[in-house]
Amino acid sequence: MLVANGARVAITGRDAEKLNRAAPEIGAHAIQADVSREADVLRTMQEALQRFGELDILINNAGLGRFRPLVELDLAEFEWTFATNVTGAFLMAREAAKHFISRKQGTIVNIGSTASLRGAPNGTAYYASKFALRGMTECWRGELRKHNIRVCLVNPSEVITNFGAAAGFTQKDNGTKLRPGDIAHAVKAVLEMEDRGFIPELTVFATNPVD
């Protein structure tokens, strides 16, 4: 959607095959990277700036999760979730913010979740990571507004993607539930506002979802 509206976009992913298949389909530049690895993040920013010459927008969209009862959740799963959802977002935002501060402009959009608004059974790792992302968003907003940098949080409710299968649960698909394009529309709306104003937080629900 952003490419279709004139943006030059770079996307990242850990799986080179999937990444290199997706990028030409949408007209984006592919950068193979794992956002939880600092060296990968530094290389990503360097490559993006070399290709485009500047950076206006960062969208922190990498996310994963495991959903287990507290007593069954092991440390590796917990840390794995935080590595991408929290540490990855921090690393990407830190490097983008350095560039934005030097230019006195820029926008960071963090893709959160309605999981950041309340807890739920079996959600220790994922829900806590989204609470943390929401907290970091508020901290960055407080720091960066004086540099004319907008920091926004978009909270989707359930969206039909492959997230559920990767996280180990089955989603019930039907036409009333959100699709990725709905969240893209919300992000586009956030970005299109004139820089004199910004939307700090936007939550997106399906109007009348059927389980």
pLDDT tens column, 136-182: 999 999 999 999 999 999 999 999 988 877 877 788 888 999 999 99
Q: What is the pLDDT of residues 46-59, one digit of tens each?
A: 999 999 999 999 99
Dist. CA 113–CA 106, nearest whole Å: 22
Dist. CA 193–CA 131, nearest whole Å: 26
Q: Give the pLDDT band of residue 127 (cuts 50, 70, 90).
A: very high
Residue 129 annotated as catalytic: no
Average pLDDT in the chain: 95
Assigned token pair, 107: 């926008």
Local structure of residue 149 (DSSP, 8 states): E
Q: Are 100 and 143 in contact (CB under 8 A)?
A: no
Dist. CA 202–CA 186, nearest whole Å: 8
Which pLDDT does position 112 carry in this prediction?
Answer: 97
Catalytic residue selected from 36, 116, 129, 130: 130
Assigned token pair, 97: 């913010």
Catalytic residue selected from 113, 116, 127, 129: 113
**Residue 116 in this model has a pLDDT that exceeds 80:** yes
Domain 57-204: give its CATH code. Answer: 3.40.50.720
Residue 113 annotated as catalytic: yes
Dist. CA 34–CA 189, nearest whole Å: 28
**Residue 37 in this model has a pLDDT that exceeds 90:** yes
pTM: 0.94
Catalytic residue selected from 36, 116, 126, 127: 126
Residue 130 annotated as catalytic: yes
